[in-house]
Amino acid sequence: MVEHSAIAQLAAAMSDEPAPIYQRVKQAIISQIRAGSWKANQRVPSESELVNELGVSRMTINRALRELTSEGFLVRMQGVGTFVAEMKGYTAMLEVHNIADEITQRGHQHRCQILAIGQNKADPEQAAVLGLSTGQTIFHSLIVHYEDDLPVQLEDRLVNPLVAPDYLSQDYHQLTPYTYLMQVAPLTAGEHIVEAVLPDARQRKYLSLDDHEPCLLIRRQTWSDTKIVTYARLLYPGSRYKLLGRFKGHG
Amino acid sequence: MVEHSAIAQLAAAMSDEPAPIYQRVKQAIISQIRAGSWKANQRVPSESELVNELGVSRMTINRALRELTSEGFLVRMQGVGTFVAEMKGYTAMLEVHNIADEITQRGHQHRCQILAIGQNKADPEQAAVLGLSTGQTIFHSLIVHYEDDLPVQLEDRLVNPLVAPDYLSQDYHQLTPYTYLMQVAPLTAGEHIVEAVLPDARQRKYLSLDDHEPCLLIRRQTWSDTKIVTYARLLYPGSRYKLLGRFKGHG
DNA sequence: CAGTGGTCTAGACCACGAA
DNA sequence: TCGTGGTCTAGACCACTGC
């Protein structure tokens, strides 16, 4: 049971603008949380209480609470109740796009140089990142991406040949490895790590960098279904590339 | 109207595992899209068709389609129909957490050293990033965050005194500036830029870094409502800090 | 106009957790 | 046992779109 005041406050917070009921219920609850009237871990009125007090059917209340739960405002436990979720600080997001799209979207020209492409027997480290066994054949490619004649990314990629058997016979001047892999094996999940590193001599040469110029390194593993499709090491000159992200708080 | 085969395929794809009906409908539709049977922009059977052919109530079908829409698989237009969404490549996300939480979650101890805190008249650049006028009073702080005696973040922060007038009188050994600001002005939006840089001599000293050690720099601007609350420059030693992110493709 | 999705209701049965 | 949330139904009215 929740004190009467909580529901009275909520009823007062219900706007009477012409909007769907479940939306107004959601907004009213959000405003209670934002204003601090309902604090983290505090219990929220039960569905049946809300039904009685707001005079709305349970399916409508349920939809409002369910959506707020999936949006991270509430936590629900069957048999227990509904509670205000803890704001775990924020988890802001950075979007990481396909390099070719990013460049053309900026209105610049993308072109690339293929430094190497081929196959080899996987050493233990390579096998591990692709989820294969040591000694199995794997594909690899090394490509520099240019934005209007300025190198902006060195793409060092390992590919699982079981997933993309025709990887070696594509023309990567026409489409990026990423785009090709998306076509043959739509990705279902991925993981990446962003860090700052100093490139080695060979990398500096390919990216036309001076000594001691730092780089962003993104290491990315991509799954399709249960198989690892590819492992990529994307190296960006720190002076020429930045990751940009926006985020919204709860709401 | 959608050809009969589309629905027949879907009915065949419905698993009979003991799961909620709307979940099974969702899975069946996802598998059609993944398998390529239903292609981007193709029309999906209407709610009433699915009701008739699958023998499920409309509310259940509606929930399945509505959730798939909010998950990015489908696009719906009132009066027109439901269509398979275009996969726009991926936009992967990186989560960026509060440094103190991150350290304690790893089971380590977080402590910090306050190098400077005070106020000054905003120079043009500072005014710009806080959305204020040149010469207005602003707050600033410079704090090093340690993970078990190893410095991992140099936090250089500007704060809008109109939003957080008591910023200077808090004890930042007890709670981080971020946590305090969240309390007084729940953030509604933000923007940040991640790049790789070389720290200057002063920064190297605070972070106990050798020459030429690259760092991750996150510059972050945070809004509450329409006002900019704070502008932070977070500098992380590249050798001691990495950003980790996971992402899921469509499903 | 007919067909689409968007919303809402009143009632129902169930699985779960706490007392 | 009782209250909780999780799901499902059959029917309804509405707004929007295209013909």
pLDDT tens digits, A76-85? 999 999 999 9
Q: Match 């698993």 to its residue by tokens.
A: B15
Q: How far is the CA of B36 from the C1' of D14 (A)?
A: 35
Sequential DSSP letters for B148-196: TTEEEEEEEEEE-TTT-TTGGGS-TTTS-HHHHHHHHS---EEEEEEEE
Mean pLDDT of chain B: 90
Q: What is the pLDDT of residue B86?
A: 81
Mean pLDDT calculated for residue range B7-31:
88
Cβ of residue B72 closer than 8 Å to a chain A Cβ: no
Mean pLDDT of chain A: 90
Distance from CA of B215 to the nearest CA of A (A): 5
Question: Which of B26, B31, B94 to substitute to test the interface with A, most A CBs within 10 Å?
Answer: B94
pLDDT tens-place string over residues A47-71: 999 999 999 999 999 999 999 999 8
Distance from CA of B160 to the nearest CA of A (A): 19
Q: What is the pLDDT of residue B251?
A: 41
- Edge-to-edge strands, sheet with B243-248: A110-121, A137-147, A150-159, A227-237, A215-224, A189-197, B243-248
Q: How far is the CA of B65 from the C1' of D2 (A)?
A: 35
- Count Cβ neighbours within 10 Å for each residue of B142-159 and write b for 16 or more, e otherwise: bbbbbbeeebbbbbbbbb
The minimal CB distance from A186 to the residues B191, B247, B249 is found for B249
pLDDT over 90, % of chain B: 64
Whether residue B169 is predicted with pLDDT greater than 90 in this model: the reply is yes
Cβ of residue A34 closer than 8 Å to a chain B Cβ: yes
Pairwise pLDDT comparison (A188 vs B164), residue with the higher score: B164
Mean pLDDT calculated for residue range B87-98:
69
Mean pLDDT calculated for residue range A27-45:
90
Using the beta-carbon criterion (under 8 Å), do B197 and A189 form an inter-chain contact?
no
Q: How far is the CA of A81 from the C1' of D2 (A)?
A: 14
Cβ of residue B231 closer than 8 Å to a chain A Cβ: no
Q: How far is the CA of B220 from the C1' of C9 (A)?
A: 47
User: CB of residue B4 closer than 7 A to nucleic acid strand C?
Assistant: no
